[in-house]
Amino acid sequence: MIIRAIITALLLNLSAFAHGVFYELVDGAIGVRVTAPNNIAISDADITIYAPEASLPFTKGKTDVNGNFAFMPDSHGQWRVVINVGSDHGAHIKDFKITIDENQKVKEFEKTPYERYMKILSVLGLLLGLFGIIVLLKNRKKDTTK
């Protein structure tokens, strides 16, 4: 009789765990943040992720209220990300690649043309500004001698 009561108590305790919610933290997630040019987060942007050499999507979803979307790659290689942000005047689509290494970490990713050429544009702007100041000063010296 006591053994039957112990077994019944164990079974009741095990069934209580069946309705719980469990979680664990997993390393290796890749996060993408979608923003407007003024660094304002874009929520509800459609994101489609393609695994290396795949034509069907690996996962699809929408950005959260902070413009974030994360996924867990299951292999290394070059992953394709397509971001589609709808607006009143049509869709804005960004398509870029992320290279994932063997440790499931981001090795490199395609940056926007603005980010890629920012240093070149900065140096060019600095040189043109200096040239403009030199020309301005030379013209002022000529005007004061008359």
3-state secondary structure the chain: CHHHHHHHHHHHHHHHHCCCCCCCCCCCCEEEECECCCCCECCCCEEEEECCCCCCCCEEEECCCCCEEEECCCCCEEEEEEEEECCCCCCEEEEEEEEECCCCCEEEECCCHHHHCHHHHHHHHHHHHHHHHHHHHHHHHHHHHC
pLDDT of residue 52 exceeding 90: yes
Span of 13-17, 58-62, 89-93, 99-103 with lowest mean pLDDT: 13-17
Residue with tokens 């079974």: 11
**What was the pLDDT predicted at 134?**
86
Domain ranges of the chain: 2-137
**What was the pLDDT predicted at 59?**
94
**What was the pLDDT predicted at 122?**
80
| Burial of 79: CB neighbours in 10 Å, binned 0-12, 13-18, 19+ | buried
Please give the average per-residue pLDDT across 114-143, as a whole number: 78
Between residues 91 and 1, the one the model is more confident about: 91
Span of 28-32, 40-44, 51-55, 68-72 with lowest mean pLDDT: 28-32
Check if CATH label 3.40.50.720 holds for domain 2-137. no
Distance of alpha carbon 66 from alpha carbon 50, whole angstroms: 23
pLDDT of residue 113 exceeding 90: no
